[in-house]
Amino acid sequence: MLMEHTMNMPPTCNTALLAWIDEAVTLCTPDRVHWCDGSDAEYQRLCDELVAHGTFTRLDPARRPNSFLARSHASDVARVEDRTFMCAQSRAEAGPTNNWADPREMKATLRGLFKGCMRGRTMYIIPFSMGPLDSPIAKIGIEITDSAYVVVNMRIMTCMGRAVLDKLGAQGTFIPCLHSVGAPLQPGQPDVPWPCEPDPQKKYIVHFPDEPSIWSYGSGYGGNALLGKKCLALRIASVVARKEGWMAEHMLILCLTSPQGTKHYICAAFPSACGKTNLAMMQPTLPGWKVTCIGDDIAWMRIGADGRLYAVNPETGFFGVAPGTSQQSNPHAMASCTRNSIFTNVALTPDGDVWWEDMGVPAPASAIDWEGKPWTPDCGRKAAHPNARFTAPAKQCPVIDPDWQNPAGVPISAILFGGRRPGTIPLVAEAFSWEHGVFMGSSAGSETTAAALGQAGILRRDPFAMLPFCGYHMGDYFAHWLSMAQRTERAKLPRVFFVNWFRKNAEGKWLWPGYGDNSRVLKWICERVDGGGKAVTTPIGNVPAPNALDVTGLQISAAALQELCSVDRERWLKEADDIAAYYATFDTHLPAALRTQLEDLRTRLAAK
């Protein structure tokens, strides 16, 4: 076998790493091995190769410098939740929300699949860190992949390359992440632009939490393939966090600064494609208010020396939903991807730029759609896939917060839960206590979206927006959340709120304008934290008192505002029944404190 290194020798003397690479090379039999150094030259070279290969189209450098479009295989467009496995020692540890498989049996299956899987391809070795390298909570992973597309995305999304190996040293530990698109090439067989395993039943996204390690086979897309993100920073990290007493959450982190200069850091957990990127970098419509962004998808949180909860964003880029992103809805995301960005499954315009639905600019008269087919506005098909994404460096965000890479993190004042709820759930409600807040998170629900394969628009429970990402028993995860109240003084814990930007009226129209106007809700939340904001107590939580929400300059009817903050007892009693049925699935793992919360809610709803 030909061993091609950018350096003569492997750029590490870490014996565990060298042994694992040896093992992987023997198993996967790649034609070449490349140790990624993370340099700009390497990035440019790989992008050029991807262009030559047909995976990438270079966008017009005058319009979008150093940026590329990729089109995936039509079957490989989103996370595959039903092919995602947690291989804890026992099914009970994985709990009812995870696909469990016996670790030994699964290893044998995977060894069979990975045998010879990189034939005809290059094996790339990607050293990466989730979290700033100088942070004590950073975790080092090594991703082995046969996809150059994965390498260039990982360079944007993580701290990647030589510095990570230096930090790892000879003795350091890392999380092995083995990835293959699952498409070996026979000698002479021509390659395709997006190799992958087209049979959905042969895709495997597998986690071994006890090792820990990750094996991913058959997909090149997003969370299936960029293993630092959902696999490491959420599924594996959630298991580690529980053992070590911290939290790994599917949350954005933002800083809200008032016109007086008061800062509040806020985390928000919304399910996939439910508004994290948008809220994280929003342009407030309230004059004088400012939002700066620390992160848009993942928060690692721990109690700091002062007893407050501190959050770190372990990523360095945004892997954001393109459709719906416009100058009006999210100008700072638009600015973040003006250069040095990768676009996947959007449309290509005749002038060499990208376009997607609700981009806020007129559709081009013709384009090439995400499947590579000619497209016109009247053809009846979408030009971009609903889960089309941009990969953009976080440092390009015009409102990136000065502390976004602070290794100590930022102190959190409030935690928000949310989702797409057309009815029942008011615009905003404040929890009565930490336990009530945990109840809100645990019972959160949302309509499904295009971020995962399967039908969109179905209401499902998605506790803490972690249903696809919690690596262990969900009931034990609830208990872990509750336990944070024992780790510090209650008064130092963040206040908890539930928000819903997606409530609809009888005609099926959004009642709330959303986006930059969500700053009005954030303002009320900060007023509650500071002790000023007026609220009325309802059975489900504290909602804004009439006139407490700042709607200056907003065209909204009093009736719509009233409906947005209304609490319908009948519907809520049904909601409570639904939560009870969901809770029953956790059996003895459901913490008693949450059962009590549910009973207290029912009592309050029943009271006149």
Residue numbers at the binding site for ligand GTP (CB under 6 A): 270, 272-278, 296-297, 320-321, 323-324, 329, 451, 501-502, 510, 514-515, 518
| DSSP assigned state of 187 | T
Angle at 316 (CA atoms; ends 313, 319), nearest 5 degrees = 100
Give the DSSP H or E segment for 150: helix 148-157
Q: Euclidean distance between the first and final Cα of the chain, in Å?
A: 78
- Using DSSP's 3-state secondary structure scheme, residue 167 falls into helix
Select from 461, 441, 432 the least CA-distant residue to 539: 432
- State the residue for tokens 């997909």: 219
- To ligand GTP, the closest distance from the beta carbon of 382 in angstroms equals 13
Site for ligand SPV (CB under 6 A): which residue of 265, 319, 370, 434? Answer: 319
Return the number of other C-beta atoms located less than 10 Å from residue 488's C-beta.
15
- To ligand SPV, the closest distance from the beta carbon of 194 in angstroms equals 15
- Binding partner of 146, given ligand SPV, Mn ion, ligand GTP, none, CB within 5-8 angstroms per partner class: none
Contact 169, 16 (CB under 8 A): no
- Binding partner of 340, given ligand SPV, ligand GTP, Mn ion, none, CB within 5-8 angstroms per partner class: none
- Binding partner of 404, given ligand SPV, Mn ion, ligand GTP, none, CB within 5-8 angstroms per partner class: none
Nearer to ligand GTP, 160 or 521 (CB): 521
Nearer to ligand SPV, 80 or 368 (CB): 80
- Binding partner of 510, given Mn ion, ligand SPV, ligand GTP, none, CB within 5-8 angstroms per partner class: ligand GTP
- State the residue for tokens 């903050």: 565
Site for ligand SPV (CB under 6 A): which residue of 451, 482, 496, 598? Answer: 451
Return the number of other C-beta atoms located less than 10 Å from residue 87's C-beta.
25
Q: Burial code of 584-593, b = ≥16 C-beta within 10 A, e = fewer?
A: eebeebbbeb
Considering the rule CB under 6 A, would residue 223 count as an interface residue with ligand SPV? yes
Nearer to ligand GTP, 407 or 422 (CB): 422
- Binding partner of 318, given ligand GTP, ligand SPV, Mn ion, none, CB within 5-8 angstroms per partner class: none
The single-letter code of the amino acid at 383 is A
Nearer to Mn ion, 467 or 526 (CB): 467
Site for ligand SPV (CB under 6 A): which residue of 34, 73, 229, 421? Answer: 229
- Binding partner of 386, given ligand SPV, ligand GTP, Mn ion, none, CB within 5-8 angstroms per partner class: none
Nearer to ligand GTP, 208 or 502 (CB): 502
- Binding partner of 79, given ligand GTP, Mn ion, ligand SPV, none, CB within 5-8 angstroms per partner class: ligand SPV
- To Mn ion, the closest distance from the beta carbon of 241 in angstroms equals 17
- To ligand GTP, the closest distance from the beta carbon of 517 in angstroms equals 8
Q: Catalytic site residues?
A: 274
- d(CA 448, CA 450) in angstroms, rounded, equals 7
Considering the rule CB under 6 A, would residue 235 count as an interface residue with ligand SPV? no
- To ligand GTP, the closest distance from the beta carbon of 576 in angstroms equals 26
- To ligand GTP, the closest distance from the beta carbon of 189 in angstroms equals 35
Site for ligand SPV (CB under 6 A): which residue of 272, 278, 283, 597? Answer: 272
Nearer to Mn ion, 469 or 481 (CB): 469
Contact 410, 400 (CB under 8 A): no
Residue sitting closest to Mn ion (CB)? 297
- d(CA 140, CA 176) in angstroms, rounded, equals 9
**Per this entry, what is the length of the chain?**
608
Select from 263, 264, 295 the least CA-distant residue to 279: 295
Considering the rule CB under 6 A, would residue 230 count as an interface residue with ligand SPV? yes
- Binding partner of 200, given ligand GTP, ligand SPV, Mn ion, none, CB within 5-8 angstroms per partner class: none
- d(CA 58, CA 65) in angstroms, rounded, equals 9
In sequence order, the 6+-apart residues with CB closer than 8 A to the CB of 531 are none
- d(CA 582, CA 395) in angstroms, rounded, equals 41
* Site string (63-92) toward ligand SPV, x via CB under 6 A: ----------------x-------------
DSSP bridge partners of 207: 86, 214
Evaluate the omega torsion of the peptide bond into residue 386 and state whether it is cis, within 30 degrees of 0: no
Stretch that binds ligand SPV, among 135-143, 222-230, 325-333, 586-594 (CB under 6 A): 222-230
- To Mn ion, the closest distance from the beta carbon of 370 in angstroms equals 20
**3-state SS, one letter per residue, for 388-407:** CEEEEEHHHCCCECCCCCCC
- To Mn ion, the closest distance from the beta carbon of 219 in angstroms equals 16
Q: How far is CA 231 from CA 209, 364, 601, in A?
A: 10, 37, 35
Nearer to ligand GTP, 174 or 355 (CB): 355
Beta strands in 146-245 (DSSP E): 159-160, 175-180, 204-208, 213-217
- d(CA 403, CA 147) in angstroms, rounded, equals 33
- Binding partner of 323, given ligand GTP, Mn ion, ligand SPV, none, CB within 5-8 angstroms per partner class: ligand GTP
The single-letter code of the amino acid at 514 is G
Stretch that binds ligand SPV, among 223-231, 353-361, 364-372, 402-410 (CB under 6 A): 223-231
Select from 237, 206, 209 the least CA-distant residue to 299: 237
The single-letter code of the amino acid at 505 is N
Nearer to ligand GTP, 468 or 591 (CB): 468
- To ligand SPV, the closest distance from the beta carbon of 72 in angstroms equals 11
- To ligand GTP, the closest distance from the beta carbon of 252 in angstroms equals 7
Contact 161, 127 (CB under 8 A): yes
- Binding partner of 344, given ligand SPV, Mn ion, ligand GTP, none, CB within 5-8 angstroms per partner class: none
Considering the rule CB under 6 A, would residue 420 count as an interface residue with ligand SPV? no
Residue numbers at the binding site for ligand SPV (CB under 6 A): 79, 222-223, 229-230, 272, 297, 319, 451
